[in-house]
Amino acid sequence: MRAASSHDAAPLPQDASGSASRAITGHDAGRRLFVGGAAAGGASLVLPRAVRAQSLPGVSATELRIGNTTSLSGPVSALGAAARAQAAYFKMVNDQGGVGGRKINFLFYDDGFNPAKTVEMARKLVEQDDIALMFANLGTGPNSAIVKYLNQRGVPHLFLAVNGDKWADYKTFPWSMPYAPSGRVECQVSIKHVLKENPNAKFAIVYQNDDFGRDYIAGAKDVLGSRYDAQVRAASYEVTDPTLDSVMIQLLSSPADVLISGVTGKFGAMSIRKAYDLGFKGMHFIATGVSSVQSVLLPAGAERSTGVLSTTYLKDVSDPGMADDAGLKAYRAFMAKWMPEAHPEESLHAYGYMTAMVMTHVLQQCNGDFSRKQIMAQANNLRDLENPMLLPGIKLNTSPTDHRPIKQMQLQRFDGKRWVKFGSIIDGEV
């Protein structure tokens, strides 16, 4: 086991280096990737690269090691598809010359979605494999088990595959950063849209009684402020509840213009069915995590689901109407060459491709200085960064005091067969 180095307890980054971000385009994905940012600080100019590399965790003269824990087995093993796509993307980057003259060695270990196993794997990655950073670790429970350890060691813990606004708490966890918008942002966007049409709208919110569900309450309070109590009626459920029937009956016993379902799993279809059966005629927003047509909307019933609303930030890789989109064409070309055995319309592959692209951009911004402090500084220095897998107009922005890379979303409505996007991009920030 490697002895802890002085770099493991490096001072927390307070500011970014000032390198300029550049939009990631679909064309970039098909050629040598990205131009590096401006020079990244005097220290990196003093020592020869070989000497610097020997003293930095995860960095050698030829290699940059990145760690990940994911689920390749167990109850959610299908989610491991994202890590496989990330690995394929980094192989493509390496084939095109790597980053800063180094090839990316992406080490991803199976934790079976077991937090105890995640701890074991994370310690191995940090203390034996000597990785420079953790990237895209999967799951709330697994990440919760390692977040304090990684922050205490000063290991960048970036673009986590999690749901929950707590991961953007830069004061408590300055070395950690999620990727996708949280339920808090989803709710902010939904309520902002409603208020434009009806400033006095009455909201009913059904939410899961945990951090995930409470993000929807926080989002409503962010937008409504002092009007929250007058305009919102909320009721929670437990994940162990067999149905939502009693909660929905209680919630919709008073008139409501809008229903917001901050729910997960089977409760997505339940909320749609029960709202329809109770005769609810208002706008019904469901969480992005339960917006699957095949897994949620059709099982709830096409008639019941028609008209349901949700939010999104991604292009739909299965949408035939986007067949000519340049970003999706580049993605399909990547899949054909680097993952020919995998299905390109699997959204997890698209997610892995997109997040690996953003991680590569951060490394390019490091301009050859791959110290953990510099990697975190550049993760904190995304400025209006575009990505070919994001909807047009949605950009990534971060800072040392803003660990929510994506805060914009667009609304979509289910027409009985597929989601149809409408309206303009809405910024969830208040």
pLDDT in tens, 220-275: 999 999 999 999 999 999 989 999 999 999 999 999 999 999 998 899 999 999 99
**Is residue 48 included in any domain, yes or no?**
yes
If asked whether residues 378 and 327 sit together in one domain, one would say: yes
Tell which wins on pLDDT, 316 or 249.
249
If asked whether residues 197 and 125 sit together in one domain, one would say: no
Mean pLDDT for all residues in the chain:
88
3-state secondary structure of 345: coil
In whole angstroms, give the CA distance from residue 398 to residue 382.
Answer: 5
Please report which confidence band the pLDDT of residue 24 belongs to, taking 50, 70 and 90 as the band edges. very low
pLDDT at 27 over 70: no
Question: pLDDT digits over 89-110, tens only?
Answer: 999 999 999 999 999 999 999 9
Instruction: Report the pLDDT value the prediction gives residue 289, as an integer from 0 to 100.
Output: 86
Q: Which residues pair with 371 in a beta bridge?
A: none
Tell me which DSSP letter residue 340 carries. T
Closest CA to 233 of 280, 179, 178: 280
Instruction: Report the pLDDT value the prediction gives residue 376, as an integer from 0 to 100.
Output: 98
Contact 330, 388 (CB under 8 A): yes
b (16+ CB within 10 A) / e for 314-343: bbbbeeeeeeebebbbbbbebbeebbeebe
In whole angstroms, give the CA distance from residue 413 to residue 26.
Answer: 27
If asked whether residues 170 and 198 sit together in one domain, one would say: no
In whole angstroms, give the CA distance from residue 65 to residue 133.
Answer: 8
Instruction: Report the pLDDT value the prediction gives residue 76, as an integer from 0 to 100.
Output: 86
Write the CATH number for 203.
3.40.50.2300
Question: pLDDT digits over 52-93, tens only?
Answer: 444 699 999 999 999 999 999 998 898 899 999 999 999 999
**Is residue 404 included in any domain, yes or no?**
no
**Is residue 237 included in any domain, yes or no?**
yes
Instruction: Report the pLDDT value the prediction gives residue 75, as an integer from 0 to 100.
Output: 84
Instruction: Name the pairing type of β-strands 176-178 and 232-237.
Output: unpaired
Q: Which residues pair with 390 in a beta bridge?
A: 314
pLDDT at 50 over 70: no
Please report which confidence band the pLDDT of residue 295 belongs to, taking 50, 70 and 90 as the band edges. confident
pLDDT at 30 over 60: no
In whole angstroms, give the CA distance from residue 209 to residue 214.
Answer: 7
pLDDT at 126 over 60: yes
Instruction: Report the pLDDT value the prediction gives residue 414, as an integer from 0 to 100.
Output: 96
If asked whether residues 203 and 158 sit together in one domain, one would say: no
pLDDT at 354 over 50: yes
> Tokens 């047009």 map to which residue?
392
In whole angstroms, give the CA distance from residue 136 to residue 300.
Answer: 32
Q: Which residues pair with 157 in a beta bridge?
A: 134, 176
3 conformational bin, left if phi > 0, alpha if psi -120 to 50, beta if neither:
beta
Element (H, E) at 285: strand 283-286
Instruction: Report the pLDDT value the prediction gives residue 32, as an integer from 0 to 100.
Output: 32
Supply the pTM of this predicted model: 0.82
Instruction: Report the pLDDT value the prediction gives residue 321, as an integer from 0 to 100.
Output: 85
Tokens of 17: 């280096």
For 40, the domain range is 6-181+320-399
If asked whether residues 164 and 220 sit together in one domain, one would say: no
If asked whether residues 12 and 136 sit together in one domain, one would say: yes
Radius of gyration of the chain (CA): 22
In whole angstroms, give the CA distance from residue 155 to residue 139.
Answer: 18
Question: pLDDT digits over 171-202, tens only?
Answer: 999 999 999 999 999 999 999 999 999 999 99
In whole angstroms, give the CA distance from residue 378 to residue 352.
Answer: 20
**Is residue 1 included in any domain, yes or no?**
no
Instruction: Report the pLDDT value the prediction gives residue 13, as an integer from 0 to 100.
Output: 43
In whole angstroms, give the CA distance from residue 276 to residue 254.
Answer: 15
Instruction: Report the pLDDT value the prediction gives residue 265, as an integer from 0 to 100.
Output: 84
In whole angstroms, give the CA distance from residue 259 to residue 204.
Answer: 5
**Is residue 364 included in any domain, yes or no?**
yes
How many folded domains does the chain comprise? 2
If asked whether residues 89 and 168 sit together in one domain, one would say: yes
If asked whether residues 303 and 365 sit together in one domain, one would say: no
Q: What is the mean pLDDT of residues 203-217?
A: 95
If asked whether residues 18 and 99 sit together in one domain, one would say: yes
Instruction: Report the pLDDT value the prediction gives residue 5, as an integer from 0 to 100.
Output: 39
**Is residue 405 included in any domain, yes or no?**
no
Instruction: Report the pLDDT value the prediction gives residue 319, as an integer from 0 to 100.
Output: 85
Q: What is the mean pLDDT of residues 278-307?
A: 94
**Is residue 22 included in any domain, yes or no?**
yes
If asked whether residues 351 and 254 sit together in one domain, one would say: no
If asked whether residues 63 and 120 sit together in one domain, one would say: yes
If asked whether residues 53 and 175 sit together in one domain, one would say: yes
pLDDT at 42 over 80: no
Please report which confidence band the pLDDT of residue 394 belongs to, taking 50, 70 and 90 as the band edges. very high
> Tokens 């899949």 map to which residue?
335
**Is residue 63 included in any domain, yes or no?**
yes
Backbone φ, ψ for residue 348 (5° rounding):
-65, -35
From residue 410, alpha-carbon distances to 73, 206, 328, 390, 407 in Å are: 34, 22, 18, 11, 11
